[in-house]
Amino acid sequence: MPGIDECLLETMRLPGARGAALVDWTSGLALGTVGDPPGGDHETAAAEAAELARLAAEQHAFGPGDGTDALDPPVEDLILSNRDSYHVLRFVPTSFDSSVFLYLWLARADGNLALARIRLGEMAERLVLG
Amino acid sequence: MVGTTPPPRLPVRDRATAHQRVGAGVSPMLTRLAEERATGVLDREHGTLHLAEGRVVHAESPLAPGLAELLTAHGTLAAEAWRDAEDSEDEGRLVRYGVTPGALELAQVGALYDAAYFALAPSSTPGRFRYGAAHWLASVHPVPVAALEREMLRRRALLRRIWPDPATDGAPLVRADPVAAPAVPTRQAAVLERVDGVRRAVDIARELGRPAFHTLVHIRRLAAAGLVAPQPPPAPDPPPADIAADPYVALLKRVRDALEAL
């Protein structure tokens, strides 16, 4: 998969996908956005999702049970649900010290959460590993 | 009775438009270059922006690790491989050396926003633009000038919100070791370990191979937690040790410093 935009467009092919973004969780910058913005504005949504991702990534309690923090961050993904949609955040592991995650906004009526999780994981990997 | 004309009304700054003026342009020159779709290099006091057809395609600053440092620091790319690609100005070579297009784009756009933060910081000297050829990495991830300027203002506000005193951004840093130290997350801990009274934020960013702005964010969080402080100028007479060790006094002093910095 070539780049950020291709990765996001691929994400939007998931059934029920409303919007997607690639966000840096240290700065809150949206490196790319596609589709509808949750809450009406992509930049604000990215900054708020970044704050949530940072909190999850920085807590030791959310790491794996064996206590090894080999991966940075130790968290794989975050799922947040409300009455009509899911927000799925998937951390992207990179070989350089970056802090980005894929952010998918998924309609609850026609989205498939399990499928979305698997796909986001695959796409996060392909984005950096090719 | 002598008639006098009333004094002219004092000019009042319209707050709404004043705010718009500030928000409208970090650099009026950059806005103009974007409008005329210029290609070339904009040199500013704290860094350089490369433009191609009015969009920013690359940025460098002495205050931020460059793309080469970000990619080589963690072994994503060998230093010789970077030099070879840079000497031949061939983006394709980076990919052949094993940097995937996605990883290159992530690293390049990260380095661009990072260096631009310093390049677009308020400066005391005017910028200089040289028209010329586009940078060899111009096609990786061009950023519209308006988006870049909006992000710069957002970043300044983000730092201010974490901890209002900018002194830790440029000064050598010292550990403050408060009495009841809070737990420090992994990435901040890596920064804290390197605080030794000599290193500045940019030195720590280089050593970690991490964007400088990210390091500023971590250091402001550490400063807000009372763990890091800028190296103070030589103090005339230090306060008695028992007062400095009192956690409430230490907290009050940090609150005072923060209020003064607002």
The helix (run of H) or strand (run of E) holding residue B190 is helix B186-193
State pLDDT tens for residues B121-169.
998 888 999 999 999 999 999 999 999 999 999 999 999 999 999 999 9
User: Is residue B6 one of the residues assigned to a domain?
Assistant: no
Shortest Cα distance from A24 to chain B (angstroms)? 9
User: Is residue B12 one of the residues assigned to a domain?
Assistant: no
Place of tokens 């649900």: A81
pLDDT of amino acid B11: 61
Q: How far apart (Å, rounded) are the C-alpha atoms in residues A118 and A42?
A: 24
> What's the number of domains chain B is made of?
2
| pLDDT of residue A8 exceeding 90 | yes
Query: What six digits make up the tokens of A10?
Result: 């691929």
Which of A2, A47, A72 is the closest to B102 by Cβ?
A2
DSSP state of B252: H
B118 & B46 share domain: yes
Q: Mean per-residue pLDDT for A94-102?
A: 87
> What's the number of domains chain A is made of?
1
B253 & B178 share domain: yes
| pLDDT of residue B14 exceeding 60 | no
B103 & B134 share domain: yes
Chains A, B: CB contacts under 8 A, how many?
A: 89
The count of C-alpha atoms lying within 13 angstroms of the C-alpha of B240, restricted to the half-sphere facing its C-beta, is: 3
Share of chain B above pLDDT 70, in %: 87
Place of tokens 């092919």: A13
Q: Mean per-residue pLDDT for B35-48?
A: 96
pLDDT of amino acid B10: 66
Q: In Å, how far are B7, B9, B79 from B4, measured between CA atoms?
A: 9, 14, 78
CB B229 within 8 A of CB B84: no
Q: Mean per-residue pLDDT for B93-100?
A: 89
Average pLDDT, chain B: 87
B74 contacts in chain A (CB < 8 Å): 95-97
Query: What six digits make up the tokens of B69?
Result: 């440092």
B136 & B174 share domain: no
Q: Which residues span the domain enclosing B57? A: 26-155
Closest CA to B41 of B101, B151, B115: B115
Q: How far apart (Å, rounded) are the C-alpha atoms in residues B38 and B134?
A: 10
pLDDT of amino acid B22: 47
User: Where residue A36 falls among pLDDT bands split at 50, 70, 90?
Assistant: very high
pLDDT of amino acid B191: 95
Last residue of a domain, one of B93, B124, B155: B155
B58 & B174 share domain: no
Interface residue of B153, B186, B204 to substitute, partner A, most A CBs within 10 Å: B186
User: Is residue B9 one of the residues assigned to a domain?
Assistant: no
B35 & B80 share domain: yes
DSSP state of A25: T
| pLDDT of residue B53 exceeding 50 | yes
CB A67 within 8 A of CB A95: no
pLDDT of amino acid B18: 47
- The pairing of beta strand B173-175 with beta strand B228-230: antiparallel
Query: What six digits make up the tokens of A18?
Result: 């409303």
Q: Which residues span the domain enclosing A76? A: 4-129
**Max Cα-Cα span within chain B:** 92
State pLDDT tens for residues B199-240.
999 999 999 999 999 999 999 999 999 999 998 877 666 666
Q: How far apart (Å, rounded) are the C-alpha atoms in residues B95 and B103?
A: 9
Which of B102, B107, B151 is the closest to A96 by Cβ?
B107
CB A3 within 8 A of CB B102: yes
Last residue of a domain, one of B127, B155, B183: B155
Closest CA to B163 of B190, B188, B180, B194: B188
B145 & B217 share domain: no
3-class state of residue A82 by DSSP = coil
Closest CA to B58 of B42, B72, B71: B42
List all residues of chain B from 5 to 64 with a beta carbon under 8 Å from chain A.
none
Average pLDDT, chain A: 91
B56 & B36 share domain: yes
Identify the closest residue of chain A to B152 by CA–CA distance. Answer: A29
CB A113 within 8 A of CB A106: yes
pLDDT of amino acid B21: 47
Closest CA to A2 of B136, B77, B103, B90: B103
User: Is residue B21 one of the residues assigned to a domain?
Assistant: no
CB B140 within 8 A of CB B57: yes
pLDDT of amino acid B59: 97
Helices B212-224 and B186-193: angle between axes, nearest 10 degrees? 90
pLDDT of amino acid B182: 82
Last residue of a domain, one of B155, B177, B211: B155
User: Where residue B109 falls among pLDDT bands split at 50, 70, 90?
Assistant: very high
3-class state of residue A101 by DSSP = strand
CB B227 within 8 A of CB B189: no
Q: Which residues contact A66 (CB under 8 A, 6 or more apart)?
A: none
B132 & B232 share domain: no
Q: Mean per-residue pLDDT for B18-30?
A: 66
User: Is residue B229 one of the residues assigned to a domain?
Assistant: yes
Do the Cβ atoms of B158 and A127 come within 8 Å?
Answer: no
State pLDDT tens for residues B237-256.
666 666 556 777 778 888 88
Which of B102, B208, B218 is the closest to A1 by Cβ?
B102
B143 contacts in chain A (CB < 8 Å): none
pLDDT of amino acid B125: 87
Q: CB distance from B105 to chain A under 8 Å? A: yes
Q: How far apart (Å, rounded) are the C-alpha atoms in residues A34 and A6?
A: 10
DSSP state of B8: P
Place of tokens 């550490």: B222
Q: How far apart (Å, rounded) are the C-alpha atoms in residues B73 and B92?
A: 21
Which of B110, B141, B183 is the closest to A98 by Cβ?
B110
CATH number of the domain that residue A18 is part of: 3.30.450.30
Higher pLDDT, B218 or A96: B218
Burial class (CB in 10 A: 0-12, 13-18, 19+), A59: middle
3-class state of residue A102 by DSSP = strand
B155 contacts in chain A (CB < 8 Å): 27
3-class state of residue B109 by DSSP = helix
Q: CB distance from B75 to chain A under 8 Å? A: yes
pLDDT of amino acid A70: 60
Higher pLDDT, B219 or A97: B219
Do the Cβ atoms of A29 and B210 come within 8 Å?
Answer: no
Q: How far apart (Å, rounded) are the C-alpha atoms in residues B239 and A66?
A: 47
Share of chain B above pLDDT 90, in %: 61
Q: Mean per-residue pLDDT for A85-97?
A: 90
Q: CB distance from B68 to chain A under 8 Å? A: no
Q: CB distance from B158 to chain A under 8 Å? A: yes
State pLDDT tens for residues B110-120.
999 999 999 99
Interface residue of B72, B106, B221 to substitute, partner A, most A CBs within 10 Å: B106
Q: CB distance from A9 to chain B under 8 Å? A: no
pLDDT of amino acid A67: 65
